[in-house]
């Protein structure tokens, strides 16, 4: 049976093509493969286990390795690349809409596995304003879907079949992002709005008016967004007053929803450092949450950065050069009791891979960015997403590749460079 299975696989798989794809993968993605190698060394160089993080990192390494091979094996031309990106955008918008609906359901309704005997703090932390366990990465997913949606409005409006429904779907994404309570989502959303308003200035961007559909639907998107945010503002302010009545009508969890809204309000206030939203709460517990002290966005990060710098200064000369693996997770846990990493991408890279690893990582980032800029006309949406994901994840990523989609955005320009040079008959240097 084993021999039959092996023979079947041999007949179905072209091993020569696989070997060629492996060679091609090494040639195309050598800088990324070098980062994977450094991360594996750092992982095995870790002295202390760090409670599941090692498994997560191994999964990331396996994923990016398989993904690199699949890219080399399947994407053979610039047209393949274009279709691949177009499909990514379509599916990302669709899945983002679905996830937005699921997120809002979690915001208002208690899952059945949560019993009322648990204390409110646990329920709020697990199912509260974050919508999911990590509200920042959840909102980053929403931002990617929103960016693909705006790109479709600007460049491919004729391919949108149900344009009004499409605009409403984007408003759903915005609403869910606000309810996530992520301050970084609000910053990036503001950046999206600024760019969209600039695109409406005719003297600066005349080309956009050559397509009336683009102009019309971009204007509708901005108008709907302002209306949407006004409704959300009113909802956050006054819903706790009627949550008990709404519980009877809509079968929501009134107490949990009120806690969520106050938590979101506190995080929105901390963005601008003033009371942008005043929640009209009716219980003492909600009033106490609403009076929570407003702090700056980076206040909780600075202490972690200082601790990370202190840990690095205590390294030996050899450790400063090559790092000490992911042992800093345990040190952070002992010192803080809550945070397990510096919340600073470059500092984390410096701790686990030293000056050498950080230098190579920055070089790869710059190389990827230079390719993006050189081919900006064809890669503008990917470059925009790359910048957003990098800035967003700079305060959350703990390793080279961070979130899955960020790692994809890092390697795609390397593939495009190869395809561009291949079609231009330009020799590709072998590392």
Alpha-carbon span 216 to 201, nearest angstrom: 13
pTM for this one? 0.81
Note the pLDDT tens digit of each residue in 226-271: 999 989 888 888 888 888 888 888 778 787 788 788 778 877 776 6
pLDDT of 26 = 85
Calpha distance 245→211 (Å, rounded):
48
**pLDDT digits 0-9 by tens, 81-100:** 988 888 889 888 999 998 89
Instruction: Give the residue-averaged pLDDT of 11-15.
Output: 62
In the prediction, which pLDDT does 125 show?
43
Residue 4 has pLDDT above 60, yes or no: no
Give 297-336 pLDDT, tens digit per residue: 445 677 888 888 899 999 999 999 998 888 888 888 787 7
- CA gap 289, 259 in Å, rounded: 8
- Rounded Cα distance, 381 and 119, in Å: 45
H helix count then E strand count, the chain: 18, 0
């Amino acid at each position: 049976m084993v021999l039959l299975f092996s023979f079947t696989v041999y007949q179905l798989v072209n091993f020569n093509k696989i070997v060629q794809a492996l060679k091609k993968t090494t040639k195309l993605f050598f800088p990324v493969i070098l980062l994977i190698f450094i991360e594996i060394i750092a992982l095995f160089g870790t002295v202390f286990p760090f409670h599941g993080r090692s498994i997560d990192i191994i999964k990331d390494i396996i994923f990016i390795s398989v993904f690199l091979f699949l890219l080399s094996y399947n994407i053979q031309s610039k047209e393949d690349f274009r279709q691949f990106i177009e499909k990514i955008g379509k599916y990302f918008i669709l899945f983002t809409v679905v996830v937005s609906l699921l997120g809002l359901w979690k915001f208002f309704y208690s899952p059945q596995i949560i019993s009322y005997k648990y204390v409110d703090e646990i329920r709020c932390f697990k199912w509260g304003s974050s919508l999911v366990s990590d509200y920042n990465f959840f909102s980053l997913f929403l931002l990617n879907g929103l960016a693909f949606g705006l790109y479709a409005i600007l460049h491919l409006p004729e391919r949108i079949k149900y344009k009004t429904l499409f605009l409403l779907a984007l408003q759903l994404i915005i609403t869910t992002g606000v309810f996530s309570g992520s301050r970084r989502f609000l910053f990036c959303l503001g950046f999206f709005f600024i760019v969209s308003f600039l695109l409406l200035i005719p003297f600066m961007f005349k080309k956009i008016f050559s397509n009336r559909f683009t102009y019309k639907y971009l204007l509708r998107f901005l108008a709907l967004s302002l209306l949407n945010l006004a409704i959300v503002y009113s909802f956050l302010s006054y819903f706790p007053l009627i949550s008990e009545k709404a519980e009877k009508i809509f079968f929501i969890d009134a107490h949990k929803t009120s806690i969520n809204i106050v938590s979101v309000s506190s995080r929105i206030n901390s963005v601008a450092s003033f009371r942008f939203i005043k929640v009209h709460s009716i219980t003492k517990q909600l009033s106490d949450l609403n009076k929570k002290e407003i702090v700056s966005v980076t206040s909780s990060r600075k202490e972690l950065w200082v601790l990370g710098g202190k840990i690095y200064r205590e390294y030996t000369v050899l450790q400063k050069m090559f790092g000490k693996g992911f042992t800093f997770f345990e040190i952070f846990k002992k010192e803080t009791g809550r945070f397990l990493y510096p919340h600073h991408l470059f500092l984390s890279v410096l701790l686990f891979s030293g000056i050498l690893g950080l230098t190579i990582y920055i070089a790869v980032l710059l190389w990827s960015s230079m390719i993006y800029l050189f081919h900006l006309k064809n890669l503008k949406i990917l470059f925009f997403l790359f910048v957003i994901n990098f800035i967003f994840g700079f305060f959350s990523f703990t390793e080279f590749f961070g979130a899955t989609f960020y790692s994809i955005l890092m390697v795609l320009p390397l593939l495009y460079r190869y395809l561009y040079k291949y079609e231009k008959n330009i020799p590709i240097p072998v590392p």
